[in-house]
Structure 1
Amino acid sequence: MLKKLWLVFTQAVTILLALLFTFATLRPEWLPQRLVRERPPASLPAPAPASRSEPGAANAPPPEASGAVTGRTAPILSYSEAARRATAAVVNIYTMKAARSPQDHPLFGDPLFRRYYGDQFGERPQTNSLGSGVIVSSDGYVLTNHHVVEGADEIEVLLADGSKARARVVGTDPETDLAVLRIDMADLPAIAFGNADAARVGDVVLAVGNPFGVGQTVTMGIISALGRTQLGINTFENFIQTDAAVNPGNSGGALVDTEGRLIGINTAIYSRTGGSLGIGFAIPASTARQVMDQIVATGSVTRGYIGVEPQDVTPELAEAFRLPRKDGAIIAGVMRNGPADRAGVKVGDILVEVDGQSVTNTATMLNVIAQLRPGSTARFRFLRDGDAVELPIRIGKRPKPGAPRE
């Protein structure tokens, strides 16, 4: 008897729980309020921000004080403002260069030949290329890459507002792959320079340019690395590496921070396909500005020079030749009658310091010496046969690429 009562009781409880669950899910309004679990609405409208004119808004406690935010900053959902500031100052650059024609054939001067074929064989074909640039002053100076305008016969600049202008080359610096152009327009939207030296790996950046000639394009990424050297791209290298998509046509365009300030000039990519693989390189804005200022002032860039052929000291080289240290720049050659030769520098010396600045490799050495003023004297510290040797060297002027070195 008890067994039957227990069975009836359990079945009744099961049916009641099933009905309660069904009503709570489908018709919660039929149940007493005590049995309905309060749930937040599916979506709530965001509270309107208090305007500055609202009474009491100035006295409202900050989010940290109210406990709404505990050490977290609000996420940035859009970089449209940074893109707007940057894109206004980024231009598309179109160049035209007459291709070299083959040597005239004797038939080209024959009247009968020209009667049938006309002058089509005498016309010189033209090649067109594209790139990007950045307006750096309101009076028409444009910063771009040297390889974008190298050998160009005509240069046309297309601004963000659709206007076009012919450009002339003020000067170029092949060793950093930078060039300065000038267009005859006034009141242009110039980009603001950021502090590239304060950039950190992981910072969000935007790349602005004209990839593949499709038109002005903005891509986003982060700074992947800083101070990239020895890539074989330029003589003087100190690249910012980014994974923001950079493609052919982006060269000379802007790499900007989240405030739209210039921190680099997009220059090169690592790619096996010709397109972006997430490895792009930009020249820091600090370097670009130094080069630009010299070109605007004098038309060229002047750098220091001592006339040596350096080689990196590697751990393997140090072990093989029993060198006293595993970094620095070993002097593999000395130019006859050059500044270093006159000062007494010898092959095999290891340069470790220039005017108090440590030298760890050839890239550092080139950058440090290039910043020295020609005609000045700097103190160079070498290691020679295990002993420290300090020599004063009068700095010479670095020859232009391809120029004969006396």
Structure 2
Amino acid sequence: MPINTFKTPATFGMPHWLHRGALALAISTAMVAGVTVTTTNSAHAAVTTADFSGLVQQVTPAVARVNVTKTISEAELAKAQTAELLRQFFGDRLRIPDQAATPAIEHAYGTAFFVTSDGYMLTNHHVVEGADKITVTLNDRTELDATLIGSDERSDVAVLKVKGSQFPALPIGDSNALKVGEPVLAIGSPFGFDYSASAGIVSAKSRSFSREISVPFIQTDVALNPGNSGGPLFNQRGEVIGINSRIFSGTGGYMGLSFSIPIDAAMDIYEQLKTDGEVARAYLGIYPQDIDRNLAEAYNLARPQGALLTRVSPDSPAQKAGLKSGDIILQFNNVQIMRASDLLNLLNRAKPSDSFRAQIQRAGKQMIVTGKLTNAPDDVNVQGGDQQNDNEVQLGLRLRNLTADEQAEVSTDKKSGILVTMVDPTGLAARSGILAGDVITNFHQKPIRTVDDFSSAISSLPEKGVVTIEVIRQGIPAIIGLRIE
């Protein structure tokens, strides 16, 4: 495992979202019993301690352990575990032989918590993804079957429902009101130790990692480990202000950086999943970037602020509203935009039919533009199926069709292609070197213009061997050999 790795703190065997980072890791000491904030000068040191003992007793009954079972083959589990262990010693030279597929039951766990007294619960998508059966265990050891109401991969939020009434629903706080340095508390089941409490402070807000995850994470130094996923993050008033979701780790365990989904964003997703069973996302059709010191001076800004539009998609809501490449969005729906992630976070929270009002700067002059958002292009998760032996081909790709603007940019010889938006690091595509952002134009000697073309090409894959994938990466064509195993 590379040292810079984002991991979801669920148990081994459950799907992980991994992302190579560029941060330098520093091992931190986790404080479980309380939060200590220390300030020093040359002569004195002041120590302030937040006591969460009363709060833990108050909120624990509303937190539950999530138990997940999933049918897999013994070959899949043994091969994955053995390959990872031995590869640390022998590198990629080691080849693990295929084994006969024997059905097996995989057990994993996470955490969930009640948001209504009639049994609705929140947890993470990656905790329950692919589950055949979900049960929750309450703090009095009561075990209840849970129904998956809906799950959203991009936000990593899932909604569960158990039968019953008068459950101890937790109060929902305001994650927007959080301040960096504020003490916070997490409760979960790390490594299977039920109702374990850990505390820390808010380290940063509005952390964004990649396009496939659509929430601005809360960064803390709270010790999260496998099993904490889906558990609540509390402020000092006992209000839920986040769902614990990810860690930044080189060991698989806590190393000082933890990330939680803001409860404001999670509750928006909850309402949509509960009502519609899916999440509708808004589309503006822009490509924003941050403004640094040099650009601020070039555009006559008093300081680096706003989102600079590098491109506006044709026939998009942005173009219809009059936005142009080179515009700087300073405010969006009366919210100040300091960086591009601020704007993207607002769009991720918006609904397709919402109206928008943007204050922009163009050619040194400020103006107001208005318009209406539409539905966002959908991504498609493609694994595939081998018709020769009915075994699933684990390509591990998330794809979507190109917009008209993207097609115009990458088209060569009247070819277009499809965009790779996410690559599962455990899939065959990742092992072959396919990256998020690649545009696939040909697969197994078949032109690819839509996701449906790609899905059709999968049906003709050989049982074993190497097939070619033609891609455009950062404007440069390339051919990649994909080994089918």
Structure 1: distance between partners of 2:281 and 2:140: 38
1:369 counterpart residue number = 347
Give 1:10-49 correspondences, 5 Å limit. Answer: none
- Write the letter of the residue equivalent to 1:152: A
Offset of residue 331 of structure 1: 1.9
Cα deviation, 1:199-220, whole Å, max 9, x if unaligned, reads 4344433210010123221123
1:334 counterpart residue number = 312
| 1:81/1:142 CA distance change after superposition, 3 Å | same
**RMSD of aligned alpha carbons:** 3.0
1:323 counterpart residue number = 299
Alignment check: 8 A CA contact 1:226 1:238 kept: no
Alignment check: 8 A CA contact 2:50 2:183 kept: no
Alignment check: 8 A CA contact 2:215 2:348 kept: no
TM-score (norm 2): 0.58
Range moving further from structure 2, 267-276 or 369-378? 369-378
Aligned length: 313
2:373 counterpart residue number = 395
Cα deviation, 1:316-355, whole Å, max 9, x if unaligned, reads 4556xx3333322122233332212333333232222223
Alignment check: 8 A CA contact 2:111 2:228 kept: yes
Give 1:23-102 correspondences, 5 Å limit. Answer: 79-99=52-72
Name the SS for the 2:346 alignment partner. Answer: helix
Offset of residue 266 of structure 1: 1.1
| 1:199/1:378 CA distance change after superposition, 3 Å | closer
| 1:100/1:395 CA distance change after superposition, 3 Å | farther
Offset of residue 363 of structure 1: 1.3
1:235 counterpart residue number = 213
1:273 aligns with 2:251: yes
Structure 2: distance between partners of 1:252 and 1:246: 11
Alignment check: 8 A CA contact 1:174 1:401 kept: no
2:169 counterpart residue number = 190
| 1:99/1:387 CA distance change after superposition, 3 Å | farther
Structure 1: distance between partners of 2:327 and 2:176: 32
1:181 counterpart residue number = 160
Structure 2: distance between partners of 1:79 and 1:101: 43
Offset of residue 136 of structure 1: 1.3
1:200 aligns with 2:179: yes
Alignment check: 8 A CA contact 1:209 1:253 kept: yes
Alignment check: 8 A CA contact 2:66 2:137 kept: yes
| 1:101/1:76 CA distance change after superposition, 3 Å | closer
| 1:242/1:234 CA distance change after superposition, 3 Å | farther
| 1:382/1:100 CA distance change after superposition, 3 Å | farther
TM-score (norm 1): 0.68
Alignment check: 8 A CA contact 1:86 1:256 kept: no
Q: Pick the structure with more helix per residue.
A: 1
Cα deviation, 1:284-339, whole Å, max 9, x if unaligned, reads 323322322232222233343212222222224556xx333332212223333221
Give 1:220-259 correspondences, 5 Å limit. Answer: 220-221=199-200, 223-232=201-210, 235-259=213-237
Offset of residue 388 of structure 1: 3.4
Offset of residue 281 of structure 1: 1.9
Residue of 134, 138, 150 corresponding to 1:155? 134
Name the SS for the 2:55 alignment partner. Answer: helix
| 1:234/1:213 CA distance change after superposition, 3 Å | farther
Structure 2: distance between partners of 1:220 and 1:368: 29
- Write the letter of the residue equivalent to 2:126: H
2:238 counterpart residue number = 260
Structure 2: distance between partners of 1:372 and 1:136: 22
Offset of residue 247 of structure 1: 0.8
- Write the letter of the residue equivalent to 1:85: Q
- Write the letter of the residue equivalent to 1:284: P
Structure 2: distance between partners of 1:300 and 1:226: 30
- Write the letter of the residue equivalent to 2:216: N
1:299 aligns with 2:266: no
Residue of 116, 125, 128 corresponding to 1:137? 116
Name the SS for the 1:381 alignment partner. Answer: strand
Name the SS for the 1:165 alignment partner. Answer: strand
Give the greater-gyration-radius structure (CA). 1
Name the SS for the 2:251 alignment partner. Answer: coil
Alignment check: 8 A CA contact 2:151 2:273 kept: yes
Structure 2: distance between partners of 1:176 and 1:142: 16
| 1:205/1:388 CA distance change after superposition, 3 Å | closer
Q: Structure 1: give runs of 5+ residues left out of the alignment.
A: 1-74, 103-119
Structure 2: distance between partners of 1:200 and 1:232: 24
Alignment check: 8 A CA contact 2:331 2:358 kept: yes
| 1:199/1:357 CA distance change after superposition, 3 Å | closer
Q: Pick the structure with more strand per residue.
A: 2
Cα deviation, 1:111-143, whole Å, max 9, x if unaligned, reads xxxxxxxxx945334433221111111211110
Alignment check: 8 A CA contact 1:171 1:299 kept: yes
Cα deviation, 1:173-198, whole Å, max 9, x if unaligned, reads 33322111111233222222234344
Offset of residue 246 of structure 1: 1.1
